[in-house]
Structure 1
Amino acid sequence: MQQYTNQYLKEIIHSTILATGMNIELKQDYTGVNMSYNFITHIVSFDAKRLVEAAAEFSNMIPLEIYINALTLHELGHALDRPALQASLPRTIDFFEMRNENSLNEIYNTPSLLSMIIEEHIMNIAFEETAWFNAEILNNKLQLVNIDMFEKIKNHSLSSYLNNYREDLALFKKIQDEAELLPA
């Protein structure tokens, strides 16, 4: 894959933000997450290296610029859902505290703790689906990404959330079934 400069990637993202007319700050970071929206600071951030890697991992031949346009619209879709994200903060803090207070082994072997992980998955999936719904509205208005490519990127993005949820849900059901078999 050809080399892309950080400035070039930033220009693609910035031009997409400008096209929507939304007033959101853009910041480069080095978190290993290709793009994200921080609802507290109202900032879209991107990791240039991970963004290029993620686009290269995409199994279908989609130009990097189109991939970035779609992801930017998705992050802006989160921004449009900011009031709901802000309202979720107390529960998000509960999830964070639960993870800090318990080991992974405890979490994944205790039904009440694992049920919180399932709840968190459901909440995150709802936010992701809403962001993609909002992104689709923006894309329909701006016509930045071909609808077939948009759907492929959306489905690929959502699949990681859905796969993690399904894995944890299967484990949760297994633990519940095992608990029912134990004598009272």
Structure 2
Amino acid sequence: MLSRYTNDYMQQLISSIMETVNIDLEIKPDHSGINMSYNFIGNYLGVDFQRLITSWEEIQSPISLESYINILTIHELGHALDRSALLESLERTIEFYQTKKSYLASEIYNNKDLLVKLLEEHEMNITFEETAWMNAELLNKKFSLFDPSSFEIVKKHSLESYQRVYLDDLKSYELLIEGLNEKTA
């Protein structure tokens, strides 16, 4: 059954949604392990077609792959609508990137200031994700693309992935602070 979901077919689904909502972006296939992402610097949509299928399978919900792809597409277009804010965050984004590149993960997770910076990055990313989902919801209402329940299932699944990583790192921060407090007590 999944054999009909070729990269070309999935790209046509994405293009069709972009045409419907009058937002035209280049679609660039990639192998990043991220199902679909909006590159605000290059102003294009990156798609890992294989990851798109596996992420759909992870949802464990009776949403068709077509609906899943279409909902993710308007979510990524929601980021495109927020491009000016994303561009304004570029300097901070580069700072986060350089910090992660300059330190080992073990150094970050054992340094309060570096871990705070990592948490700030998560918070910024979650804010951008929530904004993109709000924009996607507006597009969905304007163009009547999907039923609200399917939209909410995909939205919840997507946001949970960001929140889970944030909460894991927040727990690491709390444990680090607790350990530092014990050393000073």
TM exceeding 0.5: yes
Which amino acid letter does the alignment assign opposite residue 13 of structure 1? I
Which amino acid letter does the alignment assign opposite residue 100 of structure 1? K
State the distance in 2 between where 1:125 and 1:82 align: 15
State the distance in 1 between where 2:184 and 2:42 align: 51
Aligned residue for 2:2? 2
Aligned residue for 1:87? 88
State the distance in 1 between where 2:181 and 2:58 align: 42
Aligned residue for 2:165? 164
State the distance in 2 between where 1:143 and 1:44 align: 22
Alignment of 1:60-139 (within 5 A): 60-139=61-140
SS of residue paired to 2:2: coil
Cα-to-partner distance string for 1:132-163 (whole Å, 9 max, x where unaligned): 00000001111111100000000000001001
Aligned residue for 2:60? 59
Alignment of 1:37-56 (within 5 A): 37-56=38-57
State the distance in 1 between where 2:167 and 2:124 align: 14
How many aligned residue pairs are there? 184
State the distance in 1 between where 2:38 and 2:171 align: 30
SS of residue paired to 1:45: strand
State the distance in 2 between where 1:2 and 1:26 align: 21
Output the TM-score relative to the length of structure 2.
0.96
Which amino acid letter does the alignment assign opposite residue 132 of structure 2? A
> Is there any run of 5+ residues in structure 2 with no aligned partner, and where?
none
Query: Mean Cα displacement is larger for which, 26-35 or 63-72?
Result: 26-35
Output the TM-score relative to the length of structure 1.
0.97
Which amino acid letter does the alignment assign opposite residue 2 of structure 1? L
Aligned residue for 1:176? 177
Query: How much has 1:177 moved relative to structure 2?
Result: 1.6
- What stretches of structure 1 move > 2 A for 4+ residues in a row? none
Aligned residue for 1:143? 144
SS of residue paired to 1:182: helix
Considering only aligned residues, what root-mean-square deviation do their CA atoms show, in Å? 1.1
Which amino acid letter does the alignment assign opposite residue 150 of structure 1? F
Q: Percent identity?
A: 46
Query: How much has 1:46 moved relative to structure 2?
Result: 0.8
